[in-house]
Amino acid sequence: FRTPLQRMFALAFYTIIICLSGIVQCTVMNLIIATTRKFTLNKLKGNDLKKVHPQLHQQTARADLLQSPEAQGVVAGCIFLITLFLFIPVPFNQHITESQNVNLTDNEFVEMLAALLSVCCMLLLGFVDDVLDLRWRHKLLVATIASLPLLMVYYVNFNSTSIVVPKPFRPLFGMTVDLGWLFYVYMGMLAVFCTNAINILAGVNGLEVGQSVVIASSIIVFNFIELFGNLWRTHQFSLFFMLPYLSTSLALLRFNWYPSQVFVGDTFCYFSGMTFAVVGILGHFSKMLLLFFIPQVINFVYSVPQLFHFIPCPRHRLPRYNASTDQVEMSKTKFRLSEQNVLGRVSIALLRLLHLVHLEEGVGEDAGYVECNNLTLLNLVLLWRGPMNEETLVRHLLALQVICSLIAFVIRYPIAFLFYDI
Ligand code: UD1
Ligand code: MG
């Protein structure tokens, strides 16, 4: 933004993208209303597992909230992609008008197309998951495959696999370390993590979209701050994605907030995760992105014993609804501790030692079972704070997400000098 002309162009970009984002928000809201019935008719619907049962409250209006259209994330995802397709001519007009002089291996244009391809792939695969209910191993494979276009472009454009070592580790590793192919493994795993981390921190109305809105807003604030730094181009690139993404998600949140009228499905979780991974990788701020994912990282680490089947993992781990109190409580799993492998027994012992689990022994007919809460951050909050209304629970989790974003900014700015030369 050094010259007045550059500033004028930047202003024009942001005006166009902000206007587009406004239009996008209205379009998504109208489309959700228009397609709700079609989704339900085509059996794309799910039971809200934490609402009153019709037999119990047949006369109340809330009974008809029980079934909601599923996979509405596909509406938001498609509109998000269409917006970006329409936006391509704005920043890249010189590539279109002077096509003969463009070096296609060294510019943001190729990055943008590869990024769109990855997001598009993930949207499609997420929708397939909603329709076919894929197994977990397939979900991991799917995200890895969708990240390949992105990694190829990174390889062709940058192929920079060195990382600056944080100050405390420099006596051991030196100033920089070249990770080579391991760097690509790291980026592939980042994409897999981002797509699945949002999906497993889910199950209460508004949480999938709410957390994504907080993460997207944090990224936007970070990008705006960094627009004044040397790497302003990559942060501007990230804004091209994040501004329309935020407006589509806000529109979806209106319908998904408690009591939710629609479910966003795995489609939304996957396309959101891939959008974050795309901007984090191509914007060169993957470490900062991971800091914005602190609650998801905690949820993943806490979930490991169930995700890797050290102890049994039921199909749904979301909190249990108690109709008599209209509150949600921890959901639990019953199993024989003696039948679990050594990793299962060790993880339960460790969690117990750290007071991170609610364990009831001597359960079942022969008193040979233990009952423990499902290992999710939602249940952990309920363990510490007790049963609460579903909306209060989602507010607690979103407040935690905001606090973690603030911590990320503190680590990145005021105390960054402890880790890097700034
Ligand atoms: C993930 C979680 C699972 C959790 C589910 C809920 C893991 C390994 N998997 O599975 O434990 O139960 O998400 O999203 O952690 N639903 C509600 N209220 C909501 C959102 C969803 O009742 O606010 C229910 C609905 O029945 C909906 C279903 O969850 O149809 C969607 O589940 P799905 O996204 O298919 O579950 P997974 O992502 O496989
Ligand atoms: Mg899901």
DSSP string across 31-67: HHHHHHHHHHHTT-EEE-TTS--TTTSTTSGGGGGSE
Structure tokens at 292: 């914005």
φ and ψ at 371, to 5 degrees? -120, 125
Instruction: Tell me the per-residue pLDDT of 279-301, one tens digit each, with 9 for 90 and over.
Output: 999 999 999 999 999 999 999 99
The predicted pLDDT at position 246 comes to: 95
Ligand nearest to the Cα of 318, by number? 1
The predicted pLDDT at position 12 comes to: 78
For the ranges 38-47, 50-59, 305-314, 316-325, the lowest mean pLDDT is seen at 50-59
Whether pLDDT at 151 is above 70: yes
Q: Taking the model in full, what pTM does it have?
A: 0.93
Ligand nearest to the Cα of 379, by number? 1
For a substitution probing ligand 1, which of 199, 267, 299, 375 has the most ligand atoms within 8 Å of its CB?
Answer: 199
The predicted pLDDT at position 57 comes to: 45
Element at 343 (helix H, strand E): helix 342-353
Q: Return the residue matching tokens 């629609």.
A: 262
Could you tell me the pLDDT band of residue 62, with boundaries at 50, 70 and 90? Answer: very low
Instruction: Tell me the per-residue pLDDT of 378-397, one tens digit each, with 9 for 90 and over.
Output: 999 999 999 999 999 999 99
**Residues 288/408, Cβ–Cβ less than 8 Å:** yes
Residue ID of nearest Cα to ligand 1 atom 4: 316
Angle 4-5-9 from CA coordinates, rounded to 5°? 115
| SS3 category, 168 | helix
**Mean pLDDT computed over every residue of the chain:** 89
**Residues 286/134, Cβ–Cβ less than 8 Å:** no
Residue 242 burial (CB count, 10 A): 25
Any ligand 1 atom below 6 A from CB of 390: no
Measured in angstroms, how far is the CA atom of residue 296 from the centroid of ligand 2?
14
Measured in angstroms, how far is the CA atom of residue 129 from the centroid of ligand 1?
12
Q: Atom of ligand 1 at shortest distance to CA of 206?
A: 23
Measured in angstroms, how far is the CA atom of residue 52 from the centroid of ligand 1?
17
The dihedral built from the CA positions of residue 182, 188, 191 and 194, taken in this order, carries a sign that is: negative
Reported ipTM exceeds the 0.95 cut = yes
Measured in angstroms, how far is the CA atom of residue 316 from the centroid of ligand 2?
10
For the ranges 90-104, 244-258, 350-364, the lowest mean pLDDT is seen at 90-104
